[in-house]
Amino acid sequence: MKKLTTSVFMILFACLSYAQSNFFTPTSYRGAIDPDTTKDWTKGWSNFDPTTTSYPATTVTVNGGDITTNTTWTKNNVYLLNDGYIYVTGGATLTIEAGTIIRGTGKGTIIICRGSKIYAKGTLAEPIIFTSSKGAGLRAPGDWGGLVLTGRGIHNLPQGDTAAAEGGIAKPVTGSGEIDGRHGGTNDNDSSGVLSYCRVEFAGIPLTTAANSEINGITFYSVGRKTQVDHIQVSYSGDDSYEWFGGAVNCKYLIAYAGIDDDFDTDNGFKGLVQFGIGARIPSNADQSGSNGFESDNDANGSQNLPRTAAVFSNMTMVGPLYSGQTASVNSNFQRAAHIRRNSAISVVNSILTGYPTAGLLIDSRLTNSAFQNGTAVFKANIIGGVPAGLAGRLASNSDTLAVTSSASVAAWVVNNQTDTFNQSNDVNLVRPFMYTNPSYAPASNSVALSGSNFLTGKTPIDAKPVADFTFAQTSPTSRTFIFNNVSNTRGFASTYSWDFGVSSSTTDTSSALSPSFTFPANGFYSVKLKVKNAYDSSIVTKNVGVTIAATQNNFFDFTPYRGALSPDTTKDWTKGWSNFDPTTTTYPATTVTVNGGDITTNTTWTKNNVYLLNDGYVYVTGGATLTIEPGTVIRGTGKGTLVICRGSKINAMGTLAEPIVFTSSKGAGLRAPGDWGGIVITGRAVHNLPQGDTAAAEGGIAKPVTGAGEIDGRHGGSNDDDSSGIMTFCRVEFAGIPLTTAANSEINGITFYSVGRKTVLHHIQVSYSGDDSYEWFGGAVNAKYLIAYAGIDDDFDTDNGFRGNIQFGIGARIPSNADQSGSNGFESDNDANGSTNTPRTAAVFSNMTMVGPLYSGQTASVNSNFQRAAHIRRNSAISVVNSILTGYPTAGLLVDSRLTNSHFQNGTAVFKANIIGGVPSGLAGRLASSSDTMAITSSANVAAWVVNNQTDTFKLSNEVNLVRPFMYTNPNYAPASNSVAMNGSNFGTGKTPFNSKPIVNFTYTQTIPNSKGYSFSNTTDTRGIATRYLWDFGVSTSTSDTSTMENPSFTFPANGSYIVTLYAINLFDTSFISKSVTVFVTDKPAANFTYVQSTTAGSRMFTFTNTTDTKGYATTYAWDFGVVTASDDTSSAMNPEYTYAANGTYTVRLIASNAFLADTVSKTITVLATSITEANAAFSQVSLFPNPANNQFTVSLNLVHANTVSVELMDVTGKVVLSTENNKLQSGVNEVIFNTSEMPQGVYFVRISTPESSLSSRMVIVK
């Protein structure tokens, strides 16, 4: 799928190495099947019970003859090969669709001639099936001919390109040119087409009585290696399952099942490679010529003709008919697992050969023996089991060499060639190789086949060279950390990894982890190299990684869709938990430490276990000292008690939500009033516009006299707007703001900031009941968030002398009684006291402020007449107010009070936009003071109209703004109600409120359920309040559906492994992402299953249960319940238990298979009848069945009490009658009824014998 780029630039290139084209796939295990049952290549398309499989009737008959044009057989038809040879010739291609069924009869045979092709490419879900035309239960080996492919590869027959296929297939040689049914040439790279996912059943017909006149299941004559052959099953062949005559075709994933003669026969110089094959026999099926797993000749005479037969077989599992505990009769024609003779030099490696009666390996020619001894042929790293003691290897007479002169020498040589030998087939420990209709040839967890392979014999060229590769992703756009996901193909070998991240100046830019992370030191291009190395080879890939990071957004403002200080989401109310709107009645502890006026010149800490008294004097923190105040500390003040932070010194008052720092009055509850003590004054080195420069004095007599050089306490200013005066967070300042003299501007405010720099941290501060302004700024550039001004006397937020800071999220709330004789406003702002044009100009920006004056509908309290305007902007000030609520002031919402200020608003130097004004008299939402007109705005009416035009909503009544409870003074809530106009309407595009638009992306994840490949992803992105959409990429490189646009999706990964999961967050303004590595590893659920068989002992009700659970490769425990409801001992934890039932009946047997994480249950109903009933009743004095088990026939012996009408029926386990007699009148005494079962499939059956008076049933077992 497409992968979204996770960096501004990522340019890739790969250093490609030569791709190996070796045929063999290395395995650590021996045999055909991986112990990981999820990799069992036989599943899904093969069929080990074709005898009873129902196939549809044929619809198209194909008679013998030639196909000379390209022809397609389609799956909507069923084809009958009707007793004749069908030659695909003249360069034609026969294409057979996946899922097509072809049925054969008599000599019906498909012959692919030289120069023509077959294209039979089935699929896992839809294999192509070539089978018998007979019905279920009636089929047998040799029902039809088979498949024959003839090619132009090289053989060693003297006839050259006129060599004839066996069995009369070859047409006569007449004239020149290639003759149909003949084979050979000079091109081992010839192609005869494709055979893939095909089953060939009941083929292999003996065409004449002469030797070598049969057709095999599939026969390859001089077929070239460009022919594709894989996933083929030949079952119940009447001759060999597969036979190769010369050629060099390679094959993988072959099954030979229940054939008559040999499984894999090689002749006449066949040089191909075969890997992953199964040769499995059933006890009854063998050929009079002697049946072997492998049979191989150089030619029929054992000549030295070239090319020599030298095929290589690896990872073969050859399962003969013998195993421990077997009761079925084994055909005496079975011989050896491998019979290598007549100068053949084939090799067999990494394979399992078990259960043959006369030898594991028989070397049957002196030249073949020499080939094995000199390494021309190899027999190594195999397993031989289930052959008589001493017969793992045998030497035929006249086959001795100087080194190996006897069978004993061969047996020792076999062991010396890394081959394990066992006397019993069961010792090999395959899962269920002898469950013929449902086998599993995988090694069990304790099998010797789990390891011991050898791919270094020189006969099995392997793709040992790993294919190094990796993907990578930046973890986030603001980080130089990258995740590297190793997706190398190790070819199945244990591998080590060496990463070099390409930082030339570093010696620590390496890793040996599988999938590391690495943080690059700087932006740029880095050449990242991964080397993968195993015991045989190594590979390197290099990719260029472009590293860049987006600048971290340091914009001050946070976007909100709403207007005002509080989100409508009450869980985000930042006033909760630390503020106090009823400090008048709050009880505070008595003071324990008195701090008199004077200087603090060394770092000092005030602790929360003390209560401090600022005792009627100025306390200067000076000389570079820092005053640290612990969270939870209470400081009480009296008189002129004032805390003054001087330039170069700092306050570190870092309260918390749970433990705010409280500065309050020294008076008791109910006695406190505004101006009980001085307040907090912070002086800094930032820029102001006063002419005194850095000797500018703080108001109220705080400033010390100017004497000599250096910074004077109580004075302020400098040139560093980035100055820091420390931290104030989660602080409350109550009842401060004392008028120090009767002169104008001689008061101390709640908190006063003089030329404070922007590196000072201010947030979550509440000033309540200040005797003058709650907050006042004189110059400087400090920013602040989350401020509360409550019940102050003068102005809530006063700005002067070139203050240029940014304030967001503030509340200015008044109570009706508290106002100042000078006129009380929400905002008051001057450039300076004279309205000069001194610079820097006062140009602060306030956003998301909620200013609640004293007026509201229904109010009964008297309102102090000194209340004035929500915002009084005057004297050349150019402050901006946006996204705010101004309500409840009697004389104006906004008063523009100077011609220069008016000009600033009109030319955009100052902005008043996207606000809400409510609760002011009609027409007074905006006012213009006298002498403040400009050419555009010349009257209050113009201002009122201009306000509206600037996206400001106006209402006559405060209540119409619809805040939750702004006038419940001791327990207010200033959030917008659900119907408030403040819910939306913000504007952060004025240029005055640069905001952080980039989402801060993050997510967590958990498994949906334990031990599942399904994961739930929880999106924890901080959207910054902006509507955001999402795109997830779950990192499945082979998928086009591994994405989601849900906020919190779930996803099921296809397999265990490591995946880079990326979440993109996209809003109207910006995009961001995060990538995380998710490692998926689960234990698969076992698939519980079992079979059962009843003992054949007369009168027995004992059952043996064979556990066929697919454990998925994990340790598994078992719990059996044999279904006897009246018993408590009908359970077992054995893998393959036995259980004897006390009585006939029907029982439900349950097996629970459990691994460490998951369990599976299977239940089966069994019918229990005592075996070989001998029973007397009103009709019968005795009934017997024999033999039991039976093979081709059995006899029912009836001793009748009197002459009677008797019927006898044979039923399968489902109750279906499969054979029966007529209602015969039988004489009294002994009568016998014989059933012919030669065409019956192996299995368990029941015999029911009925007369008009009674009936009885008995169990019969048929074995083949």
Task: Tell how strand 661-665 and strand 182-183 pair up.
Answer: unpaired
Residues facing 1190 on adjacent strands: 1262
What is the per-residue DSSP string for 738-803?
-B-SSSTT-B--SEEEES--TTSEEEEEEEES-SS-SEEEES----EEEEEEES-SS-SEEEETT-
CA–chain centroid gap for 1212, Å, is: 47
Residues facing 851 on adjacent strands: 812, 886
DSSP state of 835: -
CB-based burial, 701-740: b 16+ in 10 Å, e otherwise = ebbbeeeeeebbbbbbbbebbebbbbbbbbbbbbbbbbeb
Question: For position 19, what pLDDT does the model report?
Answer: 36
Reading the block at residue 979, the tokens are 């119907």
d(CA 1189, CA 1243): 10
Beta carbons of 786 and 817 less than 8 angstroms apart: no
Radius of gyration of the chain (CA): 48
DSSP state of 146: E
Query: Over 70: is that where the pLDDT of 543 sits?
Result: yes
Cα–Cα nearest to 715, from 774, 775, 755 = 755
CA–chain centroid gap for 1213, Å, is: 45
Q: Which residue has the higher pLDDT, 1038 or 277?
A: 277
Reading the block at residue 486, the tokens are 């190793």
d(CA 313, CA 330): 27
Query: Over 60: is that where the pLDDT of 1022 sits?
Result: yes
Other Cβ atoms within 10 Å of 1095 Cβ, number = 16
First-last CA distance in the chain:
53
Question: For position 1170, what pLDDT does the model report?
Answer: 67
Q: Which residue has the higher pLDDT, 359 or 220?
A: 220
Arithmetic mean of pLDDT, 61-80: 97
pLDDT digits (tens, 9 = 90+) for 914-937: 999 998 888 888 777 776 666 566
Arithmetic mean of pLDDT, 842-854: 96
pLDDT digits (tens, 9 = 90+) for 738-752: 877 666 667 899 999
d(CA 1153, CA 593): 74
Other Cβ atoms within 10 Å of 1067 Cβ, number = 18
d(CA 861, CA 854): 9
Arithmetic mean of pLDDT, 75-83: 96
Q: Which residue has the higher pLDDT, 74 or 328?
A: 74
Model pTM score = 0.57
Cα–Cα nearest to 1235, from 1211, 1205, 1200 = 1211
Question: For position 1053, what pLDDT does the model report?
Answer: 92
DSSP state of 1223: -
DSSP state of 699: T
Confidence of residue 864 (pLDDT cuts 50, 70, 90): very high
d(CA 686, CA 919): 38
Phi/psi region, residue 207 (left: phi>0; alpha: psi -120 to 50; beta: rest), is alpha
What is the residue whose two structure tokens read 């060939």? Answer: 200
Task: Tell how strand 163-164 and strand 182-183 pair up.
Answer: antiparallel
Question: For position 8, what pLDDT does the model report?
Answer: 31
Question: For position 212, what pLDDT does the model report?
Answer: 67
Arithmetic mean of pLDDT, 131-144: 94
Question: For position 613, what pLDDT does the model report?
Answer: 98
Burial of 1183 (0-12, 13-18, 19+ CB in 10 A): buried
DSSP E strands, 211-311: 218-221, 228-235, 242-245, 251-257, 264-267, 273-280, 294-296
Question: For position 211, what pLDDT does the model report?
Answer: 63
Question: For position 14, what pLDDT does the model report?
Answer: 31
Question: For position 216, what pLDDT does the model report?
Answer: 94
Cα–Cα nearest to 739, from 771, 705, 698, 702 = 771
Reading the block at residue 304, the tokens are 């030295």
pLDDT digits (tens, 9 = 90+) for 1175-1232: 445 566 677 778 877 778 888 888 877 788 888 888 876 667 888 887 778 888 888 8
pLDDT digits (tens, 9 = 90+) for 445-464: 889 999 999 988 888 887 77
d(CA 226, CA 652): 81
Q: From residue 755, how far is each of 7, 425, 624, 697, 951 by CA, in Å?
A: 42, 94, 17, 11, 33
d(CA 1228, CA 1234): 18
Question: For position 793, what pLDDT does the model report?
Answer: 95
Reading the block at residue 268, the tokens are 């006449």
Cα–Cα nearest to 27, from 421, 442, 551, 379 = 442
* Mean per-residue pLDDT of the chain: 89
- Length of the chain in terms of residues written: 1264
Cα–Cα nearest to 671, from 739, 738, 586 = 586
Residues 6 or more apart in contact with residue 1126 via CB below 8 angstroms: none
d(CA 902, CA 937): 8
Beta carbons of 32 and 317 less than 8 angstroms apart: yes
Question: For position 402, what pLDDT does the model report?
Answer: 56
Task: Tell how strand 347-349 and strand 1193-1200 pair up.
Answer: unpaired
pLDDT digits (tens, 9 = 90+) for 1128-1154: 888 999 889 999 998 888 899 999 988
Query: Over 50: is that where the pLDDT of 298 sits?
Result: yes
Beta carbons of 462 and 491 less than 8 angstroms apart: yes
Confidence of residue 11 (pLDDT cuts 50, 70, 90): very low
Residues facing 1129 on adjacent strands: none
Question: For position 196, what pLDDT does the model report?
Answer: 97
Question: For position 1264, what pLDDT does the model report?
Answer: 66
Assign 450 to helix, strand or coil: helix
Confidence of residue 958 (pLDDT cuts 50, 70, 90): confident
Question: For position 924, what pLDDT does the model report?
Answer: 83
Assign 413 to helix, strand or coil: helix
- What count of Cα atoms within 13 Å lies in the side-chain half-sphere of residue 658? 0
pLDDT digits (tens, 9 = 90+) for 482-538: 999 998 988 777 899 999 999 988 889 999 999 999 999 998 889 999 999 988 889
Q: Which of 152-166, 248-262, 284-298, 405-419 has the lowest mean pLDDT?
A: 405-419
